[in-house]
Amino acid sequence: MSAPKNNSKAYPVTFAYLISASKGDVGKLKRLMRVLYHPGNYYLIHVDYGAPEAEHREVAQYVAADPVFGQVGNVWVVGKPNLVTYRGPTMLATTLHAMAMLLRTCQWDWFINLSASDYPLVTQDGMVSGLMLFL
């Protein structure tokens, strides 16, 4: 992970997202990134160790090929994924590791943990506007 090229100071509130994907989630992950992406936020994608290597490559290629992600530099894919069992401590360990990576890389105000199956009901600008009412 390298430092992003965008200037988060231009935005009143910034979010750091961990987006977790498992086997078969590539299509959902792409859909989520299309609707969730905002240049003032940061995105770390973790594709579970149990997903096929082809899916890991497809996600990495998707992020690398996107011209906006490349220009802004705020979307990363975990290079050495963890094996996540959803009934054990591995999910928490993966989340804490992602938070540590994001804290070392960029400045953000709020952390949001999503899975590729999630879908936002509020736009990014709507979230910022709602938060600004309470801050």
User: Where exactly are the structural domains of the chain?
Assistant: 12-134
Superfamily for the 12-134 domain: Spore Coat Polysaccharide Biosynthesis Protein SpsA; Chain A (3.90.550.10)
Distance of CA 126 to the CA centre of its chain: 18
pLDDT at 9: 64
**Strand-strand pairing, 15-21 and 42-47:** parallel
Q: How far apart are CA 117 and CA 28, in angstroms?
A: 6
pLDDT at 104: 94
Please give the structure tokens belonging to residue 78.
């975990």
Query: Which residue is associated with the tokens 């936020």?
Result: 41
Residue 106 near residue 8 (C-beta atoms within 8 A)? yes
The model's pTM is 0.87
What SS3 state is found at 45?
Answer: strand
Between the alpha carbon of residue 100 and those of residues 13, 58, 62, 68, 124, the distances in Å are 19, 25, 24, 25, 23
Residue 68 near residue 98 (C-beta atoms within 8 A)? no
Give the chain's mean pLDDT.
Answer: 87
Residue 36 near residue 124 (C-beta atoms within 8 A)? yes
Task: List, for residues 80-103, the tens digit of each pLDDT value.
Answer: 877 777 777 888 888 999 999 999
